[in-house]
Structure 1
Amino acid sequence: MFDKDKPIYQQIREKIEDQIVNRQLLEEEQAPSTNQLVSFYKINHATVSKGINQLVEEGILYKKRGIGMFVAVGAREKLMKKRKEAFVDQFIVSLIEEANKLEISEQEIIEYIKQVKERESE
């Protein structure tokens, strides 16, 4: 269920982020409570709270006192921006570096990407 190479609180946080990015959780919609997540995943309350609190600090979730956690307006947009930046850092930079070593042109890279996307959509 959980990846042993990554802290569980981070994985909980990413699961909620994924639900927002995938539009399973919409803006102003109630997010799963800490207690629901503790019960569902059978993990420590402090672990879940740490992941949730990070999302609150970043303005992705907000608390309504006595009611629960809700997805903030603009949360999906913030997450998409953050993930696109991470995508560039994690994948595009190394792709360009390797392409330069192999003397692959920008046009060739684009063509390779199109070919792969075509194969994946079949």
Structure 2
Amino acid sequence: MYVNLDSTTPIYIQIAEWLQHEIVADRLQTDDKVYSQYQLAELFNINPATAGKGLTILLEEQLLYKKRGLGMFVTTDAKERILTKRRNETLTKMAQNLVIEANRLLVSDEELLALIRRTQEGLK
């Protein structure tokens, strides 16, 4: 992944999202050392302070922890926290939008559930 300078998403958010993706994909695991803000700055050709803001987000969300003088590391439950947050936020929003659109189109609950089941079967 590369930082998209044309995106409306701030670069520091993109950095935080990239690191979360690395955790979910198991490329960064429990107690693994994470890139420093200077390594991230070099990797993505951005200002170190911007990279630091991305790391701070993950610290505040308790996905990373600091070891004084050694750097930042992935917390034990980081992957589960990310997955839970995505389930609770992303899927809920998607489900709300789906239900709203189904209501606009006068699709019954039974029809909507059948559509979801057919879609699931088609993906298997």
TM beyond 0.5: yes
Q: Residue in 2 aligned with 1:58?
A: 61
Q: Residue in 1 aligned with 2:43?
A: 40
Q: Residue in 1 aligned with 2:28?
A: 25
Cα distance in 2 for partners of 1:35, 1:97 equals 45
Superposed counterparts of 1:41-120, under 5 Å:
41-120=44-123
Q: Residue in 2 aligned with 1:10?
A: 13
Cα distance in 2 for partners of 1:86, 1:40 equals 30
**Equivalent position SS for 2:65:** strand
Cα distance in 1 for partners of 2:22, 2:122 equals 27
Q: 1:115: how far off?
A: 3.1
**Equivalent position SS for 1:55:** helix
Cα distance in 2 for partners of 1:48, 1:14 equals 12
Q: 1:36: how far off?
A: 1.4
What is the root-mean-square deviation in Å for CA atoms of aligned residues? 1.7
Q: 1:13: how far off?
A: 0.3
Q: 1:89: how far off?
A: 3.8
Q: What residue ranges of structure 1 are gaps of 5+ in the alignment?
A: none
Aligned length: 121
